[in-house]
Amino acid sequence: MRIRVVDAFADRPFTGNPAGVCLLEAGAWPDGAWMQTVAAEMQHAETAFARPSERADADWDLRWFTPTIEVDLCGHATLATTHALVSDGLVSGKVSFATRSGVLTAAIDDGWITLDFPVNRPAVAEVPAGLVEALGAEPVSVHSTGELSDVLVVLADEAAVRALAPDLGRVKALNQRDRNRGTIVTAPADSGYDFVSRFFAPASGIPEDPVCGSAHTALAPYWAERLGRDELVGYQASARGGVVRVATVGDRVQLTGQAVTTLDGQLLV
């Protein structure tokens, strides 16, 4: 079986967020435990599996796995899958995916891919007990993110976000206690972008996600309201780094980025 590694939200290799991508033949899904094992072997934030869809409202079916669990929504692996489909000449212009989060679409335009995802509007929340100790930073505010199930933490400035060295064991325990997928940390940018962020999801098998597209479904509306503009550019300040262009349009968020294939090979088992 062919398997690729695609760096998403990246314009050059070894930046952005790497995702495993397996494009399957039409027919039944492989065994779920096998797909989970492949994702564990790949050790990327997510590995995506896609097959031609039999549904009238979708072109492909798409599933995402972290090294430990199957997840409901993943932006960067969707962008990576779209890039693989375009590279193989299987789609052009626009493609739709049937997923656990409904039908999602991706538009392709001269090397740029725009994902259309449901919005997750943050709501102000109490600071969870133990959060300051887990992050090693004092939040300006904390927000819930609805169906995304992340906690969104706002810090004072970009330097504070970049300097974070959280206790991931404590972060994992907090996320498990509060039943959160992960912790988004963000602040206004002073480096030519509108905002910066980082994302930690050790309870989902992802200590730090290099560039999390789905987290931007909450970041986009938060910063749109705060900055008074619907179209913004975010930078995820992980070690790899990546740029996500966002636009909040009603109850949807558009996430735009590029991708680069870095590995293309055969899975032998």
Catalytic residue among 25, 46, 208, 231: 46
**Residue 163: left (phi > 0), alpha (psi -120 to 50), or beta?**
alpha
CA neighbor of 63 nearest in space, from 41, 109, 85, 32: 32
46 tagged catalytic: yes
**Active site positions, annotated:** 46
